[in-house]
Structure 1
Amino acid sequence: MIPRLFAIIPCAGTGSRAGSLIPKQYRTIAGRNLLYYSLIAFDACPEFTQILLVLSPDDIHFDPSHLGALRYAVKRCGGEIRRKSVYNGLIKLAEFGARASDWVLVHDAARPGITPRLIRTLIAAVQDDPVGGIVAIPVIDTLKRVNAQQGSEISNKVTALRISSTEPRDYLWQAQTPQMFRIGILREALAQAPVRSYPLTDEACILESLGYKPLIVRGSARNFKVTYPEDFELAEAFLTYRAAS
């Protein structure tokens, strides 16, 4: 059987670093909530069998009227951490006929710069790979490391830290989403993730910890993640410009 395409957009996070009273995916940006921009890009790709939003079971902010007639399904199976939300979403995809050999693209609800073109670029580049891959961009900034004690204290309130070293940036890439993997491989890797000590910060990292080597596909600086309060202003300016152009 020809592998099919599915998408999971985890929406169970609280976005605590964004300094918002509501989860950041529901903040209004350029007239729409943040989630809308991720969802509309996938909705524009009819090749997806199903697009699944994974919400927290106690989410009181989700309002389908803000998403119009976009194509998606909702499951309130989100976990307290991202990888549990993704794992639960993968389990729920079986209800839509998803098989282990099918593909799933996992995308952050807080990356409003995603486009159908970038989604299709990733699909075309990795669809013949046995594992999958991600979009990412080369690191261009100089990287500074602080000591371990300072690093553990970093928060929005910290204004100055002492540099302990400068790190080489050669061959370093900044991971983005979507991240595209075989459903079965990702599901099995996530099932093992909670008992592993490796810092599992994205889906690719989880597979890497088990010995897999995902591909990297060139992403876009516009596909940035809204994380901190100032990022909302940047997203507002970018999305307003894109709508007007």
Structure 2
Amino acid sequence: MSSDVIPAIAAIIPAAGVGQRMQADKPKQYLRLQGKTILQHSVERILAIDSVSRLYLVLSDDDAYFASTGLPAEQIERVSGGSERVHSVLNALQLIDSERYPWVLVHDAARPLVRKQDIDLLISEGLSGQHGAILACPVRDTMKRGQQFITETVSRDSLWHALTPQFFPTDLLREAIIGALAAGVQVTDEASAMEWAGHQVRLLEGHSDNIKITRPADLQLAAFYLEQQY
């Protein structure tokens, strides 16, 4: 799809969490990776997409770190975070004019390595359908279910790791999240709300280095991957 027919897209990055599993003295999105914060990397990769006209960055009201990142205020609208990630995303969706931004791209603050070519693919292929798409990676390992002991081996056929960004029509996503929350459904990502609402969400294979930084060892792995990308 040529760029002149791509509609204006709004992006949402929920970044109000504290990342307790990182065991750090600050929220994980403000830890440094190759001279920049994780959040800076993530935001800059989304803003590098020409069709993304506005970024809604969801932050805790008492966030004391964002002001020092130097991110461009003219392209970013700050939004108050909610009690959970899904509520943060919904807070942003409630502010987005769907006539101006009919499609929305939602990306994790802790995924600083997403590649431009994957985002371009997501937007292009997502716009070719009606209900949106997500980046994902096929499961490669043998899957087990259990607690302390294995209860069963689960076939990895047709299993995928869900990544971000995830890309949906703005109105459909807003309605799906509101409906799912009202029904008491656990919304773990945007696609899960769309699935609950009965929409067909397309899977698009992305690069496996689009990792989510969750634990201390992930930061070292991300630094390695970042060096390989350049």
Q: Distance in 2 between matches of 1:9 and 1:212?
A: 23
Q: Distance in 2 between matches of 1:5 and 1:217?
A: 19
CA deviation after TM superposition for structure 1 residue 70, in Å: 7.8
Structure 2 partner of 1:154: none
**Alignment of structure 1 residues 157-196 onto 2, 5 Å:** 161-196=148-183
Q: Normalising by structure 1, report the TM-score.
A: 0.86
Q: Distance in 1 between matches of 2:11 and 2:166?
A: 10
Unpaired runs of 5+ residues, structure 2, are: none
CA deviation after TM superposition for structure 1 residue 194, in Å: 2.2
- Aligned pair count reads 226
CA deviation after TM superposition for structure 1 residue 41, in Å: 1.2
Structure 2 partner of 1:102: 102
Matched-pair contact (CA < 8 Å) for 2:42–2:110:
yes
Structure 2 partner of 1:40: 44
Matched-pair contact (CA < 8 Å) for 1:25–1:109:
yes
Q: Find 2:62's aligned residue among 37, 50, 58.
A: 58
Q: Sort the Cα spacing of 1:78 and 1:114 in 2 relative to 1 into closer, same or farther, 3 A.
A: same
Structure 2 partner of 1:156: none
Q: Distance in 1 between matches of 2:9 and 2:29?
A: 24
CA deviation after TM superposition for structure 1 residue 232, in Å: 1.0
Q: Distance in 2 between matches of 1:102 and 1:48?
A: 12
Matched, 1:31 2:35: yes
Matched, 1:88 2:75: no
**Alignment of structure 1 residues 116-155 onto 2, 5 Å:** 116-146=116-146, 150=147
Q: What letter is aligned with 1:6? A: A
Matched-pair contact (CA < 8 Å) for 2:103–2:170:
yes
Matched, 1:78 2:73: no
Q: Distance in 1 between matches of 2:225 and 2:174?
A: 35
Structure 2 partner of 1:158: none
1:140 counterpart SS class: coil
Q: CA RMSD in A?
A: 2.0
CA deviation after TM superposition for structure 1 residue 3, in Å: 3.7
Unpaired runs of 5+ residues, structure 1, are: 151-160
Matched-pair contact (CA < 8 Å) for 1:50–1:72:
yes
Structure 2 partner of 1:211: 198
Give aligned-pair identity as a percent: 38
